[in-house]
Chains A and B, each alone.
With several copies, the nearest count.
Chain A
Amino acid sequence: MNRFDRWFAHASRHVARHTSRRSFLTLLGASLAGVSGFPVLPVARAAEQRGSAAADPVQDPNHCEYWRNCGMDGFLCGCCGGSSTSCPPGTEMAKTTWIGTCRDPSDGRDYIIAYNDCCGMSTCNRCMCGRHEGDRPIYYPAKSNNVNWCASASTNVYHCTTTLLLGLSEPEPP
């Protein structure tokens, strides 16, 4: 393991524990939904409508406020034909990903969440969700939401993003 590998391994662990990921497309979402109210690609309205799907949006996987979305980037796959943990038909899940640490308020514990992108189809353009903590510039890819993580899939065409639970962020007490 050379120095860069060590740096990167450190970065990954640090990142997993202390940050969440801001949307790859946050500013796109802002730009599309923001000024004109309801433009060609309407990202704002759908989110409103889905608000009623679950009593508590923090526990609704198709809602941006879902607890696992603390580091979400881009379009929620549950709005695109997949779910919060699976890709839509005809797409492929990226093997590398950014990971974040999210707290589930129902038990107050922190979990490691992997934001695996689904790839191979043009942008879903539904349920844009961007959360803003801990983002870093592109020269720090493991912490940057402005990198397209479909780089690791067989095509790098970005479609939507899942939220996979990997485990607790700290070892269980013995």
Chain B
Amino acid sequence: MPVRVGLGWCVMLLLGAGPVAAGDALHQEDIIGKVKRLPSAPAPHWIWVNDAALSSMPDGRAMLVDGDTGTVLGMLGTGYSFAALTHALVPRGEFYSAETYYSRHTRGARTDIVTIRDAETLAVRAEVPLPPKRASTIPRLNDAAITDDGRFMAVFNLTPATSLSIVDVEARRFVGEIGIPGCSLVFPAGPRALFSLCFNGEALVTELRDDGALARQYRVEKIFDAEGDFIADNGARHGDAWLFPSLDGNLYTLDFSSGVLKALPPWPLLAPEEVRAGWRMSGFQGVAAHDRRHELYFLVHQGTPDTYKDFGTEVWVYELAHRTAVRRIALRHPAVSIAVSADDDPMLGAVSMDTAELHLYGAVTGRHLRTVAEVGVTSTLLQFPWRDTPEKTSPER
């Protein structure tokens, strides 16, 4: 049949053009304008790669990868100084991102928003304006967080005064700002509670009322020594606790299973000879946990104390109930961040910022499964967001 060539120097193709007979089944005329949707049921090995694009910071990105196939499922544009996506533990077919935009990309009027995207179409469902105070950091997962009931998102602000912007994601409404003087970042700690870490070794808990306003704040004192064995600014959620490794290789637990945040005594992840050999925590997100397996994954490398954020070369795995190291996984390439999927056949992801590669391993077998190349400009953080509803397990002690 004749070619449908329109007038004008380019071929104007109407959406929904009629069927064609171009011979056989392999050569059917294609429909113009098709756009893919994601399956409504995400698989447990779907993993987000967050990319701050540090050499071109207005061009933040995130990329969704199917870890089982290495296929890229979709991407997002996430603006200036992007950190990470925020996923509610209670799924609502959408996810959240605190984003900053400038009217002239690197100058002009600043707009901070929480963008709410549809989990199937990746389209923007809504934008919630924020005060233009969002912290710009080398990305951390906990630059923002959502309460365990999925209702309120908290965005870490630094102007350099520190505070949290609270957003009611259900009502698509900015609720208000709550100061967190001396403290930074934000970790979910229950249905309506969040905590931040403080420069003086404390944690500050912020509890919200049902309308998102401040219910109360309290401090947990003397958790760690910021001038000594300080903890990482990134931790692993494990049931109703957060686990933080420290400079000297100890594990600090902040438990909120009782409804009140408390610090449990730290215990060593490293044997004395490992400490002497310089094994140390690593990267921007250097720990992950698997709830049902009660396992901690710890990204390590060998280096002086000042290298505590350098890329990690191995992942050491611990059984938390018995505080035993159970296996080591040597990485194909040094990684800046790791993540572990929540299912019973868990996958370990490790992202290399220098090569823009995502390396995927069997978390139990330690076997390298595949490498996904071209996952960003300067990819920084990983997220397997489709975890199960958190079990009410008590943390190990």
Contact = CB atoms under 8 A, between A and B. Distances in A.
B30 interface: yes
A69 to B, nearest CB: 14
B196 A114 contact: no
B236 to A, nearest CB: 15
Given A28-B54, A38-B355, A146-B138, A141 B162 contact: yes
Interface in B233-276: 233
Interface in A98-144: 98-99, 104, 106-107, 109, 111-112, 114, 116, 118, 120-127, 132-144
Q: In which size bucket is the chain B interface?
A: 35 or more
Given A111-B22, A114-B11, A171 B1 contact: yes
Contacts of A149: 160
Contacts, number: 319
Contacts of B138: 24-25, 27-28, 138, 146
Contact of A97 (B10, B27, B107, B108): B10
A109 B378 CA distance: 39
A54 B316 CA distance: 36
Prevailing SS type, chain B contact patch: loop
Contacts of B2: 167, 171
Contacts of A5: 7-8
Contacts of A133: 306
A146 B75 CA distance: 24
A167 B22 contact: yes
Contact of B137 (A93, A96, A148): A148
Q: Which of B13, B121, B181 has the most CB of A within 10 A?
A: B13
B214 interface: no
Contacts of A138: 137-138, 140, 184-185, 233
B36 A12 contact: no
Contact of A93 (B21, B33, B376): B33
Contacts of A42: 355-357, 373-374
Interface string B171-196: 00000000001111100000000001
Given A92-B35, A165-B30, A27 B7 contact: no
Interface string B1-18: 111111111111111000
Contact of B200 (A7, A25, A93, A165): A7
20 contacts: A7-B200, A8-B7, A12-B6, A12-B9, A28-B54, A31-B378, A36-B355, A46-B373, A92-B35, A116-B13, A136-B199, A139-B196, A146-B138, A147-B160, A151-B135, A152-B10, A155-B107, A157-B57, A159-B75, A165-B22
Given A121-B76, A136-B230, A165-B29, 4 more contacts: A96-B11, A141-B184, A146-B284, A148-B137
Interface of A: 1, 4-5, 7-9, 11-14, 16, 22, 24-28, 30-32, 34-36, 38, 40-43, 45-46, 49, 79-83, 85-93, 95-99, 104, 106-107, 109, 111-112, 114, 116, 118, 120-127, 132-144, 146-152, 155-159, 164-169, 171-172
